[in-house]
Structure 1
Protein backbone atom coordinates (compact mmCIF):
# COMPACT_ATOMS: atom_id res chain seq x y z
CA UNK A 1 0.00 0.00 0.00
CA UNK A 2 1.48 3.30 -1.04
CA UNK A 3 0.93 7.01 -0.74
CA UNK A 4 -0.73 6.84 -4.16
CA UNK A 5 -3.64 5.03 -2.51
CA UNK A 6 -3.96 7.75 0.11
CA UNK A 7 -2.41 5.38 2.65
CA UNK A 8 1.11 4.57 3.75
CA UNK A 9 2.81 2.28 6.27
CA UNK A 10 4.85 3.71 9.14
CA UNK A 11 6.54 1.92 12.00
CA UNK A 12 5.30 2.48 15.54
CA UNK A 13 8.02 4.56 17.20
CA UNK A 14 8.13 7.40 19.72
CA UNK A 15 7.69 9.74 16.73
CA UNK A 16 4.46 8.02 15.62
CA UNK A 17 3.12 7.26 19.10
CA UNK A 18 0.49 10.01 18.91
CA UNK A 19 -0.95 8.45 15.75
CA UNK A 20 -1.29 5.07 17.46
CA UNK A 21 -2.67 6.77 20.57
CA UNK A 22 -5.30 8.51 18.46
CA UNK A 23 -6.50 5.25 16.90
CA UNK A 24 -6.58 3.35 20.19
CA UNK A 25 -8.17 6.27 22.01
CA UNK A 26 -11.00 6.52 19.49
CA UNK A 27 -11.86 2.92 20.32
CA UNK A 28 -11.68 3.11 24.13
CA UNK A 29 -8.22 1.60 24.29
CA UNK A 30 -9.17 -1.43 22.15
CA UNK A 31 -10.53 -4.69 23.52
CA UNK A 32 -11.65 -3.43 26.95
CA UNK A 33 -8.81 -0.96 27.38
CA UNK A 34 -6.01 -3.38 26.51
CA UNK A 35 -4.00 -0.85 24.47
CA UNK A 36 -2.43 -3.82 22.70
CA UNK A 37 -0.52 -4.97 25.79
CA UNK A 38 -2.01 -8.47 26.05
CA UNK A 39 0.69 -10.40 24.20
CA UNK A 40 3.61 -8.70 25.95
CA UNK A 41 5.19 -10.26 29.07
CA UNK A 42 2.92 -10.12 32.10
CA UNK A 43 3.77 -7.61 34.80
CA UNK A 44 2.12 -6.05 37.85
CA UNK A 45 1.16 -2.89 35.96
CA UNK A 46 -0.57 -4.60 33.06
CA UNK A 47 -4.32 -5.00 33.12
CA UNK A 48 -5.02 -2.75 36.10
CA UNK A 49 -6.64 0.17 34.23
CA UNK A 50 -6.97 1.36 30.65
CA UNK A 51 -4.84 4.41 31.43
CA UNK A 52 -2.23 2.20 33.05
CA UNK A 53 -2.11 0.01 29.95
CA UNK A 54 -1.74 3.12 27.77
CA UNK A 55 1.21 4.36 29.81
CA UNK A 56 2.79 0.90 29.82
CA UNK A 57 2.48 0.56 26.04
CA UNK A 58 3.98 4.00 25.50
CA UNK A 59 6.94 3.14 27.73
CA UNK A 60 7.55 -0.09 25.82
CA UNK A 61 7.49 1.83 22.54
CA UNK A 62 9.98 4.36 23.91
CA UNK A 63 12.16 1.48 25.14
CA UNK A 64 12.10 -0.07 21.65
CA UNK A 65 10.44 -3.33 22.75
CA UNK A 66 6.99 -2.82 21.20
CA UNK A 67 6.60 -2.85 17.43
CA UNK A 68 3.76 -2.41 14.98
CA UNK A 69 3.01 -1.36 11.43
CA UNK A 70 0.62 1.60 11.28
CA UNK A 71 -1.58 2.23 8.24
CA UNK A 72 -1.73 6.01 7.84
CA UNK A 73 -4.43 7.91 5.97
CA UNK A 74 -3.04 11.22 4.76
CA UNK A 75 -5.70 11.92 2.13
CA UNK A 76 -7.30 14.74 4.12
CA UNK A 77 -4.02 16.53 4.73
CA UNK A 78 -3.92 15.41 8.36
CA UNK A 79 -2.18 12.13 9.14
CA UNK A 80 -4.37 9.61 10.94
CA UNK A 81 -3.64 5.98 11.87
CA UNK A 82 -6.54 3.81 10.72
CA UNK A 83 -5.13 0.30 11.26
CA UNK A 84 -2.20 -1.49 12.82
CA UNK A 85 -0.52 -4.88 12.99
CA UNK A 86 1.52 -5.71 16.09
CA UNK A 87 4.67 -7.78 15.58
CA UNK A 88 7.81 -8.63 17.51
CA UNK A 89 10.12 -11.38 18.67
CA UNK A 90 8.82 -14.24 20.84
CA UNK A 91 10.62 -12.60 23.77
CA UNK A 92 8.68 -9.38 23.19
CA UNK A 93 5.38 -11.18 22.59
CA UNK A 94 5.27 -14.44 24.58
CA UNK A 95 1.62 -14.31 25.64
CA UNK A 96 -0.05 -16.03 22.70
CA UNK A 97 -3.33 -17.89 23.18
CA UNK A 98 -3.13 -21.68 23.71
CA UNK A 99 0.50 -21.22 24.74
CA UNK A 100 0.88 -24.58 26.51
CA UNK A 101 -0.35 -26.49 23.47
CA UNK A 102 1.79 -24.36 21.16
CA UNK A 103 4.98 -24.95 23.14
CA UNK A 104 4.31 -28.67 23.49
CA UNK A 105 3.90 -29.05 19.72
CA UNK A 106 6.42 -26.47 18.51
CA UNK A 107 8.93 -27.66 15.92
CA UNK A 108 10.85 -24.38 15.97
CA UNK A 109 10.79 -20.93 17.53
CA UNK A 110 10.23 -18.18 14.95
CA UNK A 111 12.23 -15.00 14.70
CA UNK A 112 9.06 -12.88 14.71
CA UNK A 113 5.36 -13.11 15.43
CA UNK A 114 2.42 -11.08 14.17
CA UNK A 115 -0.02 -11.21 17.08
CA UNK A 116 -2.73 -8.57 16.75
CA UNK A 117 -4.39 -6.58 13.97
CA UNK A 118 -6.93 -3.82 14.41
CA UNK A 119 -8.81 -1.62 11.92
CA UNK A 120 -10.67 1.60 12.70
CA UNK A 121 -14.40 0.82 12.64
CA UNK A 122 -14.94 3.48 9.95
CA UNK A 123 -12.63 1.69 7.51
CA UNK A 124 -13.47 -1.98 7.93
CA UNK A 125 -14.08 -4.34 5.00
CA UNK A 126 -11.65 -2.40 2.83
CA UNK A 127 -8.68 -4.77 3.00
CA UNK A 128 -6.83 -2.77 5.64
CA UNK A 129 -6.19 -5.75 7.94
CA UNK A 130 -4.27 -7.37 5.11
CA UNK A 131 -2.49 -4.10 4.34
CA UNK A 132 -1.42 -3.79 7.98
CA UNK A 133 -0.12 -7.37 8.05
CA UNK A 134 1.81 -6.75 4.82
CA UNK A 135 3.21 -3.62 6.43
CA UNK A 136 4.49 -5.69 9.34
CA UNK A 137 6.09 -8.13 6.90
CA UNK A 138 7.80 -5.27 5.07
CA UNK A 139 9.16 -3.81 8.33
CA UNK A 140 10.45 -7.25 9.33
CA UNK A 141 12.20 -7.48 5.95
CA UNK A 142 13.80 -4.08 6.58
CA UNK A 143 15.03 -5.38 9.95
CA UNK A 144 16.76 -8.32 8.28
CA UNK A 145 13.91 -10.78 7.74
CA UNK A 146 13.57 -14.23 9.25
CA UNK A 147 10.96 -16.85 10.05
CA UNK A 148 7.62 -15.19 10.81
CA UNK A 149 4.61 -16.86 12.40
CA UNK A 150 1.06 -15.75 12.93
CA UNK A 151 -1.91 -17.41 14.60
CA UNK A 152 -5.04 -16.50 12.67
CA UNK A 153 -8.57 -17.81 12.87
CA UNK A 154 -10.12 -20.46 10.68
CA UNK A 155 -13.52 -19.15 9.62
CA UNK A 156 -16.04 -21.38 7.90
CA UNK A 157 -16.90 -20.20 4.36
CA UNK A 158 -19.82 -17.77 4.36
CA UNK A 159 -19.68 -17.23 8.12
CA UNK A 160 -19.06 -13.76 9.57
CA UNK A 161 -17.33 -13.12 12.88
CA UNK A 162 -17.00 -10.02 15.03
CA UNK A 163 -13.76 -8.05 14.75
CA UNK A 164 -13.21 -8.68 18.47
CA UNK A 165 -12.79 -12.38 17.66
CA UNK A 166 -10.79 -11.82 14.47
CA UNK A 167 -8.02 -10.03 16.33
CA UNK A 168 -5.38 -11.55 14.04
CA UNK A 169 -7.13 -11.97 10.72
CA UNK A 170 -8.04 -15.22 9.00
CA UNK A 171 -6.20 -18.19 7.56
CA UNK A 172 -7.26 -17.19 4.04
CA UNK A 173 -5.79 -13.72 4.50
CA UNK A 174 -2.42 -15.13 5.51
CA UNK A 175 -2.48 -17.60 2.64
CA UNK A 176 -2.80 -14.62 0.30
CA UNK A 177 0.26 -13.14 2.03
CA UNK A 178 2.33 -16.24 1.29
CA UNK A 179 2.11 -18.01 4.66
CA UNK A 180 1.95 -21.81 4.90
CA UNK A 181 -0.47 -23.63 7.20
CA UNK A 182 1.51 -25.59 9.82
CA UNK A 183 -0.97 -27.04 12.32
CA UNK A 184 -4.12 -26.26 14.34
CA UNK A 185 -3.89 -24.41 17.65
CA UNK A 186 -6.82 -24.32 20.06
CA UNK A 187 -10.38 -23.94 18.78
CA UNK A 188 -10.46 -22.58 15.22
CA UNK A 189 -6.97 -21.08 15.52
CA UNK A 190 -3.91 -22.25 13.64
CA UNK A 191 -0.17 -21.73 13.23
CA UNK A 192 0.96 -20.24 9.92
CA UNK A 193 4.51 -19.49 8.86
CA UNK A 194 6.52 -17.71 6.23
CA UNK A 195 10.21 -17.00 5.73
CA UNK A 196 10.71 -13.31 4.94
CA UNK A 197 13.82 -12.37 3.00
CA UNK A 198 15.85 -9.32 3.99
CA UNK A 199 14.88 -6.19 2.10
CA UNK A 200 17.25 -5.29 -0.69
CA UNK A 201 19.65 -2.56 0.29
CA UNK A 202 19.36 0.59 -1.78
CA UNK A 203 22.48 1.44 -3.71
CA UNK A 204 23.12 5.05 -4.62
CA UNK A 205 23.88 5.92 -8.24
CA UNK A 206 27.28 7.19 -7.19
CA UNK A 207 28.30 3.97 -5.44
CA UNK A 208 26.82 1.85 -8.23
CA UNK A 209 28.90 3.76 -10.77
CA UNK A 210 32.01 3.29 -8.68
CA UNK A 211 31.42 -0.47 -8.57
CA UNK A 212 30.94 -0.57 -12.35
CA UNK A 213 34.33 1.04 -12.90
Structure 2
Protein backbone atom coordinates (compact mmCIF):
# COMPACT_ATOMS: atom_id res chain seq x y z
CA UNK A 1 0.00 0.00 0.00
CA UNK A 2 1.49 3.35 -0.95
CA UNK A 3 1.57 5.91 1.80
CA UNK A 4 -1.68 7.86 1.93
CA UNK A 5 -1.43 11.63 2.28
CA UNK A 6 -4.36 13.89 3.10
CA UNK A 7 -4.37 17.64 3.40
CA UNK A 8 -7.46 19.77 3.94
CA UNK A 9 -7.77 23.43 4.77
CA UNK A 10 -6.58 23.97 8.31
CA UNK A 11 -5.60 20.31 8.80
CA UNK A 12 -1.94 19.24 8.61
CA UNK A 13 -0.91 16.63 6.05
CA UNK A 14 -1.36 13.13 7.44
CA UNK A 15 0.39 9.96 6.34
CA UNK A 16 -1.42 6.65 6.82
CA UNK A 17 0.75 3.55 6.85
CA UNK A 18 0.03 -0.20 7.28
CA UNK A 19 0.92 -1.22 10.81
CA UNK A 20 3.41 -3.88 9.63
CA UNK A 21 5.56 -1.08 8.25
CA UNK A 22 5.97 0.85 11.51
CA UNK A 23 7.69 0.20 14.85
CA UNK A 24 5.29 -1.36 17.33
CA UNK A 25 6.35 1.39 19.73
CA UNK A 26 4.32 3.78 17.55
CA UNK A 27 1.24 1.59 18.07
CA UNK A 28 1.88 1.66 21.81
CA UNK A 29 2.17 5.45 21.67
CA UNK A 30 -1.28 5.73 20.08
CA UNK A 31 -2.99 3.26 22.43
CA UNK A 32 -1.36 4.79 25.50
CA UNK A 33 -1.66 3.43 29.02
CA UNK A 34 -5.08 4.76 30.07
CA UNK A 35 -8.60 4.50 28.74
CA UNK A 36 -10.47 1.79 26.85
CA UNK A 37 -7.89 1.37 24.08
CA UNK A 38 -5.13 0.54 26.56
CA UNK A 39 -7.34 -2.13 28.17
CA UNK A 40 -8.54 -3.72 24.92
CA UNK A 41 -5.83 -3.51 22.25
CA UNK A 42 -8.43 -4.27 19.56
CA UNK A 43 -9.19 -7.74 20.88
CA UNK A 44 -12.91 -7.18 21.53
CA UNK A 45 -13.97 -9.04 18.38
CA UNK A 46 -11.18 -11.61 18.62
CA UNK A 47 -11.11 -13.08 22.11
CA UNK A 48 -13.87 -15.17 23.70
CA UNK A 49 -15.02 -13.96 27.09
CA UNK A 50 -13.20 -16.85 28.76
CA UNK A 51 -9.89 -15.30 27.70
CA UNK A 52 -10.59 -11.81 29.05
CA UNK A 53 -8.34 -12.57 31.99
CA UNK A 54 -5.26 -11.16 30.27
CA UNK A 55 -3.69 -8.00 31.62
CA UNK A 56 -2.99 -4.96 29.45
CA UNK A 57 0.59 -6.00 28.70
CA UNK A 58 -0.51 -9.44 27.55
CA UNK A 59 -3.18 -7.95 25.29
CA UNK A 60 -0.58 -5.63 23.77
CA UNK A 61 1.70 -8.59 23.12
CA UNK A 62 -1.20 -10.42 21.48
CA UNK A 63 -1.82 -7.52 19.10
CA UNK A 64 1.91 -7.37 18.34
CA UNK A 65 1.83 -11.06 17.36
CA UNK A 66 -1.25 -10.50 15.22
CA UNK A 67 0.52 -7.65 13.43
CA UNK A 68 3.52 -9.88 12.79
CA UNK A 69 1.48 -12.88 11.63
CA UNK A 70 -1.29 -11.25 9.58
CA UNK A 71 -1.11 -11.40 5.80
CA UNK A 72 -3.09 -8.17 5.52
CA UNK A 73 -4.18 -5.96 8.40
CA UNK A 74 -4.98 -5.74 11.22
CA UNK A 75 -4.69 -1.97 11.06
CA UNK A 76 -3.27 1.33 9.91
CA UNK A 77 -1.36 4.05 11.73
CA UNK A 78 -1.72 7.77 10.93
CA UNK A 79 1.18 10.19 11.29
CA UNK A 80 1.39 13.95 11.57
CA UNK A 81 4.99 14.39 10.49
CA UNK A 82 6.86 11.76 12.48
CA UNK A 83 4.30 11.66 15.31
CA UNK A 84 1.87 8.71 15.40
CA UNK A 85 -1.60 10.22 15.90
CA UNK A 86 -4.16 7.49 15.23
CA UNK A 87 -5.03 3.85 14.67
CA UNK A 88 -7.72 2.20 12.58
CA UNK A 89 -8.51 -1.52 12.74
CA UNK A 90 -9.24 -2.93 9.27
CA UNK A 91 -8.99 -6.55 8.19
CA UNK A 92 -11.09 -9.40 6.76
CA UNK A 93 -14.13 -10.25 8.86
CA UNK A 94 -12.93 -13.85 8.91
CA UNK A 95 -10.19 -12.72 11.32
CA UNK A 96 -12.81 -11.46 13.78
CA UNK A 97 -14.59 -14.51 15.25
CA UNK A 98 -16.58 -12.39 17.70
CA UNK A 99 -18.37 -10.35 15.03
CA UNK A 100 -21.12 -12.89 14.22
CA UNK A 101 -22.09 -12.98 17.91
CA UNK A 102 -22.85 -9.25 17.96
CA UNK A 103 -26.53 -8.56 17.45
CA UNK A 104 -25.77 -5.33 15.57
CA UNK A 105 -23.84 -7.31 12.97
CA UNK A 106 -25.95 -10.46 12.85
CA UNK A 107 -29.18 -8.48 12.36
CA UNK A 108 -27.77 -5.64 10.28
CA UNK A 109 -25.26 -7.00 7.81
CA UNK A 110 -26.64 -8.13 4.45
CA UNK A 111 -23.60 -10.40 4.05
CA UNK A 112 -23.68 -13.21 6.61
CA UNK A 113 -20.91 -15.47 5.29
CA UNK A 114 -18.35 -14.68 7.97
CA UNK A 115 -15.81 -17.05 6.41
CA UNK A 116 -15.67 -14.98 3.23
CA UNK A 117 -12.25 -13.32 3.35
CA UNK A 118 -13.26 -10.81 0.66
CA UNK A 119 -15.59 -9.07 3.13
CA UNK A 120 -13.60 -6.75 5.38
CA UNK A 121 -14.53 -4.74 8.45
CA UNK A 122 -13.42 -1.43 9.94
CA UNK A 123 -14.10 -1.89 13.64
CA UNK A 124 -12.13 0.58 15.74
CA UNK A 125 -10.45 3.98 15.76
CA UNK A 126 -8.04 5.20 18.40
CA UNK A 127 -7.00 8.86 18.37
CA UNK A 128 -5.23 10.27 21.45
CA UNK A 129 -7.00 13.23 23.00
CA UNK A 130 -4.31 15.71 21.90
CA UNK A 131 -4.88 14.85 18.24
CA UNK A 132 -8.68 14.78 18.05
CA UNK A 133 -10.84 17.09 15.91
CA UNK A 134 -8.12 17.36 13.30
CA UNK A 135 -9.41 14.97 10.66
CA UNK A 136 -7.40 11.95 11.80
CA UNK A 137 -10.37 9.58 11.89
CA UNK A 138 -11.57 10.67 8.46
CA UNK A 139 -8.13 10.19 6.94
CA UNK A 140 -7.93 6.72 8.45
CA UNK A 141 -11.39 5.75 7.19
CA UNK A 142 -10.52 6.79 3.64
CA UNK A 143 -7.21 4.96 3.79
CA UNK A 144 -8.90 1.84 5.19
CA UNK A 145 -11.15 1.63 2.13
CA UNK A 146 -8.19 1.96 -0.22
CA UNK A 147 -6.13 -0.56 1.75
CA UNK A 148 -8.91 -3.16 1.83
CA UNK A 149 -9.67 -2.79 -1.86
CA UNK A 150 -5.98 -3.06 -2.76
CA UNK A 151 -5.78 -6.36 -0.88
CA UNK A 152 -8.77 -8.05 -2.44
CA UNK A 153 -11.82 -6.82 -0.56
CA UNK A 154 -15.05 -6.67 -2.50
CA UNK A 155 -16.97 -5.28 0.48
CA UNK A 156 -15.83 -3.17 3.43
CA UNK A 157 -18.24 -2.99 6.35
CA UNK A 158 -18.43 -0.64 9.35
CA UNK A 159 -20.67 -0.38 12.41
CA UNK A 160 -21.04 3.33 12.90
CA UNK A 161 -22.35 5.55 15.66
CA UNK A 162 -24.91 8.23 14.77
CA UNK A 163 -24.25 11.01 17.31
CA UNK A 164 -27.35 12.90 16.18
CA UNK A 165 -29.56 10.08 17.49
CA UNK A 166 -28.45 10.65 21.10
CA UNK A 167 -28.47 13.78 23.22
CA UNK A 168 -24.86 13.25 24.30
CA UNK A 169 -22.27 10.73 23.17
CA UNK A 170 -19.12 10.32 25.31
CA UNK A 171 -15.89 10.38 23.32
CA UNK A 172 -15.16 6.83 24.48
CA UNK A 173 -18.28 5.59 22.66
CA UNK A 174 -17.12 6.92 19.28
CA UNK A 175 -14.45 4.26 18.74
CA UNK A 176 -16.43 2.51 15.92
CA UNK A 177 -16.48 5.76 13.89
CA UNK A 178 -19.43 7.97 12.98
CA UNK A 179 -22.00 7.79 10.20
CA UNK A 180 -20.87 11.11 8.74
CA UNK A 181 -17.22 10.12 8.72
CA UNK A 182 -17.95 6.89 6.85
CA UNK A 183 -20.25 8.64 4.39
CA UNK A 184 -17.42 11.01 3.50
CA UNK A 185 -15.18 7.97 2.98
CA UNK A 186 -17.61 6.50 0.43
CA UNK A 187 -19.72 4.18 2.61
CA UNK A 188 -23.50 4.03 2.46
CA UNK A 189 -25.91 2.94 5.16
CA UNK A 190 -27.37 -0.53 4.57
CA UNK A 191 -29.16 -1.14 7.88
CA UNK A 192 -30.12 0.64 11.11
CA UNK A 193 -30.44 -2.13 13.76
CA UNK A 194 -30.77 0.46 16.55
CA UNK A 195 -31.60 4.18 16.42
CA UNK A 196 -27.99 5.25 16.98
CA UNK A 197 -26.04 2.42 15.26
CA UNK A 198 -25.82 1.88 11.52
CA UNK A 199 -24.27 -0.87 9.43
CA UNK A 200 -22.46 0.80 6.53
CA UNK A 201 -20.71 -0.62 3.49
CA UNK A 202 -18.40 0.35 0.69
CA UNK A 203 -18.77 -2.19 -2.11
CA UNK A 204 -16.55 -2.88 -5.07
CA UNK A 205 -18.48 -5.82 -6.50
CA UNK A 206 -21.39 -5.79 -8.95
CA UNK A 207 -23.81 -4.78 -6.19
CA UNK A 208 -21.88 -1.62 -5.31
Could you say if the C-alpha distance between residues 167 and 173 of structure 1 is closer, same or farther in structure 2, counting changes exceeding 3 Å? same
Please, which runs of 5 or more residues in structure 1 have no aligned partner?
198-213
- Distance in 2 between the 1:100 and 1:3 partners? 35
- Distance in 2 between the 1:156 and 1:90 partners? 28
Shift of 1:45: 4.7
Query: TM-score, length-normalised on structure 1?
Result: 0.78
Q: Is the 8 A contact 1:46 1:53 kept in 2?
A: no
- Distance in 2 between the 1:40 and 1:113 partners? 13
2:16 pairs, out of 9, 12, 15, with 9
**Structure 2 counterpart of 1:40:** 46
Please, which runs of 5 or more residues in structure 2 have no aligned partner?
113-117
Shift of 1:51: 0.8
Q: Is the 8 A contact 1:14 1:62 kept in 2?
A: no
More helix by share: 2
Query: TM-score, length-normalised on structure 2?
Result: 0.79
Shift of 1:111: 0.9
- Distance in 1 between the 2:48 and 2:84 partners? 27
Corresponding position: 1:172 with 2:177: no
Aligned length in residues = 192
- Distance in 1 between the 2:44 and 2:166 partners? 30
Q: Is the 8 A contact 1:47 1:53 kept in 2?
A: no
Matches within 5 A, 1:33-182: 33-42=39-48, 45-64=51-70, 66-74=73-81, 79-96=82-99, 99-100=102-103, 102-104=105-107, 106-109=109-112, 111-156=119-164, 159-182=167-190
Structure 1 runs (4+) deviating above 6 angstroms are: none
